[in-house]
C-alpha cells in the first residue's frame, strides 16, 4: 500500500475515533454539553398560566397587586417518585410571605432579584426547581426566598452562603443542566443597607418616592439604639420600607435590579466552606422526573 495513502487512512481513523469519543461523552453526560434537561415545545409540552396567581392584596402582602410584582411559573414533579407535571403552578410574594413568616422589604427585594435572573436562566419562563442551585448572604429573607423558589437546600449541598460578606444582598442562581450562573442584585439608588456597597455598577434612572439616604440614616439610628430606640422611629422605618417596596414594583424590575452572567463559574470560588454540610444527601424526590412512560396507557410494562 502506498505510504501516503496509509498515512491519510490513519489520520482519518484517528479523527473519527476522536469525534466518536466526544459524541459518546456528551451523550452520556449532558451537563458537559451544557444542554437543557428538556426543551419546551420540542420534547415536552408544559402548559403555563393555568394556575391563577394570588394577587389579591392583604395586610401581609399589599404589594402583590402592583403591576410589576413578580409571578413565578414553577415546574415540579408528581410526588416523591413521579415525573414532571405537564403544568406549572404560580407563586407570588404573598406565597413567599407565608413561608418566610412575615412581609418585609428583603423578601420582596430577593423575589425581584430572582425574577430578573430567572429571565436569563429560563427564557421560556418555566422555572425548573430540580436543576437549580443558589448562593445568598446570611439574611433570612434572601435565603428563604432563594430556597423556596429554587428548591435548593443546605443538606443537599446546593444552597450556599457567600464567602465574601460584601455580597450579602446579592444572589447567585446556578442552573446545573445548562451550566449557567447569574449574579443578581439591586441597582444603586434603591439599596438601603447603610453598611453595604452595591456590588455591580449600574444605577437607577428613575426617582424613588422615598429618600433612601434618609432610610439608611434611620436604620443606623434604630440599629445602634438596640432595644432603647424611639417607638415612633420604628413605625416610621416600617412605613418607609412599605412605601419603597410598593414604589419599586410599580416599575419594570429591570429598572431596579441588575445581573451579571458568570462565565467559568465554580461553586467553591463563591461559597463559604465553613457553612457547607459535609457529605450532603442526594435528592431522591426528583430522580424519576423524566422516567419513560408506558408503551400503552393500559399496560404493566
Give residue 223's pLDDT: 86
In 3D space, the residue among 96, 85, 83, 82 whose CA is nearest the CA of residue 53 turns out to be: 96
The answer to whether residue 9 scores a pLDDT higher than 70 is no
The answer to whether residue 22 scores a pLDDT higher than 50 is no
Q: Please tell me the distance from the alpha carbon of residue 103 to that of residue 93, in angstroms, as a whole number.
A: 8
For CA atoms 131, 187, 246, 108, give the dihedral sign. Answer: positive
In the chain, the percentage of residues whose pLDDT exceeds 90 is 70
Give residues with Cβ within 8 angstroms of 256, minimum separation 6: 112, 186, 187, 189, 190, 204, 248
Return the half-sphere exposure (C-beta side, CA atoms, 13 A cut-off) of residue 72.
28
Average pLDDT over all residues of the chain = 88
Provide the pLDDT confidence category of residue 23 given band limits of 50, 70 and 90: very low
Give residue 11's pLDDT: 53
Asked if residue 50 lies in contact with residue 87, where contact means CB atoms within 8 angstroms, the answer is yes
The answer to whether residue 298 scores a pLDDT higher than 80 is no
Q: Please tell me the distance from the alpha carbon of residue 71 to that of residue 254, in angstroms, as a whole number.
A: 15
> What are the backbone dihedrals phi and psi of residue 61, each rounded to the nearest 5 degrees, phi first?
-155, 65
CA 236 to chain centre: 32
Classify domain 29-275 at the CATH topology level: 60s Ribosomal Protein L30; Chain: A; (3.30.1330)
pLDDT in tens, 153-199: 999 999 999 999 999 999 999 999 999 999 999 999 999 988 889 99
Give residue 30's pLDDT: 36
The answer to whether residue 7 scores a pLDDT higher than 70 is no
CA 39 to chain centre: 19
Give residue 44's pLDDT: 85
Lookup: cell for 253 = 424590575
The answer to whether residue 20 scores a pLDDT higher than 80 is no
For CA atoms 275, 277, 280, 286, give the dihedral sign. Answer: negative
Helices 93-100 & 140-150, crossing angle to 10 degrees?
120
CA 118 to chain centre: 6
The answer to whether residue 246 scores a pLDDT higher than 60 is yes
Q: Please tell me the distance from the alpha carbon of residue 81 to that of residue 157, in angstroms, as a whole number.
A: 21
pLDDT in tens, 118-162: 999 999 999 999 999 999 999 999 999 999 999 999 999 999 999
Lookup: cell for 63 = 404589594
3-state secondary structure of 137: coil
The answer to whether residue 55 scores a pLDDT higher than 80 is yes
The answer to whether residue 27 scores a pLDDT higher than 50 is no
The predicted model gives 258-280 an average pLDDT of 95
In the chain, the percentage of residues whose pLDDT exceeds 70 is 89
Provide the pLDDT confidence category of residue 10 given band limits of 50, 70 and 90: low
Provide the pLDDT confidence category of residue 295 given band limits of 50, 70 and 90: confident
The predicted model gives 248-260 an average pLDDT of 98
pLDDT in tens, 56-92: 999 999 999 999 999 999 999 998 889 999 999 999 9
- pTM for the complete prediction? 0.85
CA 159 to chain centre: 11
Amino acid at each position: 500500500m502506498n505510504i501516503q495513502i496509509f498515512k491519510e487512512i490513519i489520520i482519518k481513523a484517528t479523527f473519527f475515533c476522536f469525534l466518536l469519543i466526544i459524541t459518546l461523552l456528551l451523550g452520556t453526560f449532558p451537563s458537559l454539553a451544557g444542554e437543557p434537561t428538556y426543551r419546551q415545545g420540542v420534547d415536552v409540552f408544559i402548559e403555563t398560566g393555568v394556575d391563577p396567581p394570588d394577587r389579591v392584596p392583604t395586610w401581609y402582602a399589599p404589594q402583590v397587586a402592583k403591576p410589576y410584582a413578580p409571578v413565578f411559573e414553577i415546574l415540579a414533579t408528581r410526588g416523591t417518585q413521579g415525573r414532571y407535571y405537564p403544568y406549572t403552578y404560580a407563586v407570588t410574594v404573598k406565597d413567599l410571605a407565608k413561608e418566610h413568616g412575615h412581609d418585609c422589604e428583603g423578601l420582596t427585594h430577593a423575589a425581584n432579584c430572582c425574577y430578573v435572573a430567572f429571565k436569563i436562566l429560563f427564557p421560556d419562563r418555566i422555572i425548573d426547581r430540580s436543576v437549580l442551585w443558589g448562593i445568598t448572604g446570611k439574611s433570612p429573607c434572601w435565603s428563604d426566598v432563594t430556597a423556596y423558589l429554587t428548591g435548593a437546600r443546605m443538606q443537599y449541598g446546593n444552597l450556599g452562603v457567600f464567602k465574601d460578606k460584601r455580597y450579602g444582598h446579592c444572589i447567585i442562581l446556578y442552573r446545573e443542566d445548562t451550566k449557567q450562573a447569574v449574579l443578581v442584585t439591586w441597582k444603586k439608588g434603591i439599596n438601603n443597607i447603610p453598611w453595604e456597597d452595591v456590588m455591580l455598577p449600574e444605577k437607577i434612572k428613575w426617582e424613588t418616592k422615598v429618600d433612601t439616604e434618609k432610610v439608611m440614616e434611620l436604620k443606623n439610628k434604630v440599629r445602634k439604639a438596640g432595644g432603647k430606640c424611639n417607638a415612633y422611629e420604628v413605625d416610621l422605618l416600617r412605613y418607609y420600607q412599605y412605601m419603597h417596596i410598593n414604589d419599586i414594583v410599580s416599575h419594570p424590575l429591570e429598572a431596579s435590579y441588575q445581573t451579571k452572567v458568570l462565565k467559568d463559574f465554580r461553586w467553591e470560588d463563591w461559597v463559604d466552606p465553613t457553612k457547607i454540610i459535609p457529605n450532603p444527601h442526594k435528592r431522591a424526590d426528583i430522580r424519576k422526573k423524566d422516567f419513560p412512560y408506558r408503551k400503552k396507557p393500559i399496560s404493566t410494562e
